[in-house]
Amino acid sequence: MMAGVFRILFHTPEIPGNTGNAIRLAAVTGSELHLVEPLGFDFEDSKLRRAGLDYHDLAHVTVHPDLEAAFGALLPARVFAFTAEGGTLYSDVAYEPGDVLMFGPESVGLPAEVKADQRVDSLVKLPMMASRRSMNLANTASVAVFEAWKQHGFAGSGPRA
């Protein structure tokens, strides 16, 4: 892992466009993207390729056969599971390089057993209007990654205008 890198973990993502956007997010922020199978698409999917544009070769993407394999590769690290039921606001976390920002599948979010896993350090949420179910996966990951990166001065970014 490169110094200063945050790790995005999508647990069984279903929509190729969201993962394509996350590939682009990983490339432009220097983050790693980790995907847990089963995936709801394959890497030849045109929507995945279109959303990722030409960033696929610039992103560090790893596919894991299951969550155990992902944790085996990523831990020890702090794991923040993003869920609408989280008790901690995303902006109240003091992120550290190497942290894992975990998100669930688009249709149902993280399973209860994943949220209850003892390797998860905190359940984190983004604020939303009352009675709204969820935000888009790629948008949520973007907000979280940019908050973590901001806290570290956007380390590695180019000159600011």
Amino acid, res. 34? H
Give per-residue burial for 42-59: e unless 16+ CB within 10 Å, then b.
ebebeebeebbeebeeeb
Instruction: Determine if residue 9 is labeled as part of a ligand binding site.
Output: no
**Bridge partner residues of 82 (DSSP):** 124
Instruction: Determine if residue 126 is labeled as part of a ligand binding site.
Output: yes
144's CB contacts (< 8 A; 6+ apart) are 80, 82, 90, 101, 124, 126
| Separation between Cα atoms, residue 122 and residue 155, nearest integer Å | 24
Binding-site annotation, residues for S-adenosyl-L-methionine: 104, 126, 134
Binding-site annotation, residues: 104, 126, 134
